[in-house]
Structures are given as C-alpha cells and as structure tokens.
Amino acid sequence: MLSVAETDLARMRDQVFFEGPERTRRLSRFWVLLVLAAIIAAAGVTADSTATVIGAMIVAPLMTPILGIVLAVVLADRANLVRSLLLVVAGAIVVIALGWVLGKFVPYPVVAATNSQVAQRISPRLIDLVAALATGAVGSVALARSDISDTLPGVAIAISLVPPLSVVGLTLEAGATDQARGALLLFVTNVTAILASGIVVMALYRVHRHAPKPGGKTHYLSRKGAAAAIATLVLIIAVPLAITSEQLTRASLDQSDVQAVLDPWAKAAGWSIVNVSPSPDGITARATGPLPEPSTKGLRAELDRRGLKGTTVHIELVPGDIIDLRGS
C-alpha cells in the first residue's frame, strides 16, 4: 500500500515549504530564480526561440509553491497554505510585469500573428488540461518519492508556467487583450491541474495521516473545503477549454474542406494552393501559378455544397513565371 514515513514528510516539507531557519535563504533563491526565469522566458518568446523558452521552464521555481499548496491542504497547514498562495500570486504578477516591461523595448508588437511562441499559448484546449493533470501527478509522485525526483526537470518542461505569464505581459503591452486572456487561462489551467492531481496523489500516499489531530473538526472541514474548491475550479476551467477545443476542431475541418475544393480548381489551371489558414473573418487561401489568373466562377457554389455556406473564403492569387534553367 502506498504511504510515506515521517522522514519522507520532513523531506517533502523541506522541499516545498518556506519555513524554519532557512526561510529567508529559500525565499531569496525563489525570487532570484523567478526573476531570471521571467527575463529568459520573455526574451525567448520575443525572439521566437523554443530552446530559450525551454530553458526558462527549467529555471522557473513556480512549481515549488504550487506543490506547497497541495501539501498544505493535505496537512491542513493554514500558515503554509497562505504563504504558498501568496508566493504563486505574487510570482505570477512579477512575471507578467517583467514581460510587459520587456515588451516596451521591442520595436514591434509580440502577438500570435507574427510569433509562434505566442500562438502556441493563447488557445488552450481540453487536451491541455488532460496533459497538465498527468504532468502534475508526476510532479506530486516525485515529491512523495525521493527515488524518482530526477523526473522534475521533465515535469518543468512538460507543464508550462512562466512562459504563458510572459505572453500575458507581452500581449498586454501590444494591446492584444484577447490573447493575454488566453495565455492567462493556460496558466490557470496548468496550476489548477497540478493542484487537483496533487491532491489525489497525496491521498493515495495517505499523507493526510500525518496531519496534526485537532480537537474539533475545523481542520478536516478546511481540508475538505479546499479540495472541493479545487475540483470545482477544474470543472469551471473545463468549460472555456471545451469551447476553444470545439472551435479549433471546427476551424481545422473547415480548412481541410476549403483545401479539398481549391486543390482541383487550382490544378486544372496549372496553379497550386500553397497555404490555407484562418483569418479574422474566415479562411484565407494563397494560390500561385503562371498568368493568366484562373477564374473563380463556380467556387462559391462548390464551397457551399461542402457545407461552408457561412464561411468567408479569401483567395490570394499570386501570379509568377516559371523559368527552367536546364543543364547541358
């Protein structure tokens, strides 16, 4: 049966709680690493560098107070619960602020249309919640078992905490509030998933048996209420994620249908479709080929037959000459 000993609990507390004689040193380390991770993440997002963003994920210490919330809830430790919550909230605000400040020094807006790092983090889906739940479970197991703690760097990479907050700051500075809300939703999704799966893992390891035995039921109700609040938050977050998932699925299907209609039309004229992508009011397709430009007559009717009656399709015709440089 899964369980933890008193020695394991002492190690777990030392890993995630900011208490005791080492409190000041641990807090200074947390803030130094968080500020550096925020700068690295904001720079990586701005430069559209995946490697740099991954580096920020490894350096970022936000996972520590989040797991601290989990352990504090299970142990009904009100002081460490409040301390960990404040660290997560204050840390998130600092990362967003640093992203916003860095955005002031960038001569162009850092938004999804021109930056893949931003585009990856503004439309979280249900599958992201599922992945975050599994990743949070791994992190919690690594906390409970010292023999698999070497998986934590992988957990840091798998679950994105600081980069979405940097995206929030950068997109707020660029005036893209919708994108900022999407990135913030991703962060909240990941935090909530860690809390939810962490509570489950701690229950499986029966960590609650090590909680102090109060004279009344206050601590029990506090633990039960906190767990219920986290479960409710997961359900609430699942609603916008489900909506986004449905929208993205529908958009992907529409793009496939548009491609299926335009490919034979372009091929018949000696042209080719080089790109089909979503646009603010529909779908944009780019076609290229030799002059004369092909006629678009009948395309609208064909799109309607494909079930795209309510979808606006923009076709960009890019004429070009083909020059053969034959070898001897």
pLDDT tier at 215, thresholds 50, 70, 90: low
pLDDT tier at 328, thresholds 50, 70, 90: low
| C-alpha 304 chain-centroid distance | 36
Q: Model confidence over 204-214: pLDDT tens digits?
A: 888 877 776 65
Residue 1's pLDDT is what? 54
| Domain edge (last residue) among 161, 193, 212 | 212
Closest listed residue to residue 283, CA positions, set 255, 256, 303, 259: 255
> Which of 36-45, 84-93, 242-251 shows the lowest mean pLDDT across its residues?
242-251
Residue 42's pLDDT is what? 96
What tokens appear for 132 in the block? 């975050």
Provide the phi-psi class of 4: left if phi over 0, else alpha when psi is between -120 and 50, else beta: beta
Do both 124 and 269 map to the same domain? no
Spell 180-199 as b/e; 16+ CB within 10 A means b: bebbbbbbbbbbbbbbbbbb
Average pLDDT (27-52) is 95
Do both 18 and 143 map to the same domain? yes
In a domain, 29, yes or no: yes
Residue 76's pLDDT is what? 85
Is 220's pLDDT higher than 50?
no
Distance CA 30, CA 25 (A): 9
Distance CA 62, CA 92 (A): 9
Is 280's pLDDT higher than 90?
no
Number of domains in the chain: 2
> Which of 42-46, 203-207, 214-218, 234-238 shows the lowest mean pLDDT across its residues?
214-218
In a domain, 21, yes or no: yes
Distance CA 306, CA 103 (A): 43
> Which of 51-60, 138-147, 194-203, 301-310 shows the lowest mean pLDDT across its residues?
138-147
Q: Look up the CATH number of the domain holding residue 260.
A: 3.30.300
Do both 202 and 256 map to the same domain? no
Sole residue written with tokens 């909240």: 188
Average pLDDT, the chain: 88
Distance CA 141, CA 138 (A): 5
Report which DSSP code applies to 20: S
How many secondary structure helices (H) and strands (E) does the chain include? Answer: 12, 3
Do both 197 and 259 map to the same domain? no
Domain that residue 299 falls in: 250-319
Closest listed residue to residue 111, CA positions, set 172, 164, 181, 43: 172
Average pLDDT (213-228) is 60
Spell 95-117 as b/e; 16+ CB within 10 A means b: bbebbbebbeeeeebbbbeebeb
Average pLDDT (16-24) is 90
Query: For residues 172 and 202, which has the higher predicted lDDT (pLDDT)?
Result: 172
Report which DSSP code applies to 112: T
**Residues 255 and 277: beta-carbon distance below 8 Å:** yes
Residue 221's pLDDT is what? 42
23-46 vs 50-59: helix crossing angle, rounded to 10: 170
Residue 30's pLDDT is what? 95
Q: Model confidence over 144-198: pLDDT tens digits?
A: 887 776 666 677 777 889 999 999 999 999 999 999 999 999 999 999 999 999 9
| C-alpha 285 chain-centroid distance | 29
Distance CA 22, CA 272 (A): 65
In a domain, 228, yes or no: no
| Domain edge (last residue) among 212, 230, 265 | 212
Residue 152's pLDDT is what? 65
> Which of 43-57, 181-195, 268-282 shows the lowest mean pLDDT across its residues?
268-282
| Domain edge (last residue) among 212, 240, 265 | 212
Residue 263's pLDDT is what? 94
Do both 134 and 15 map to the same domain? yes
Residue 219's pLDDT is what? 47
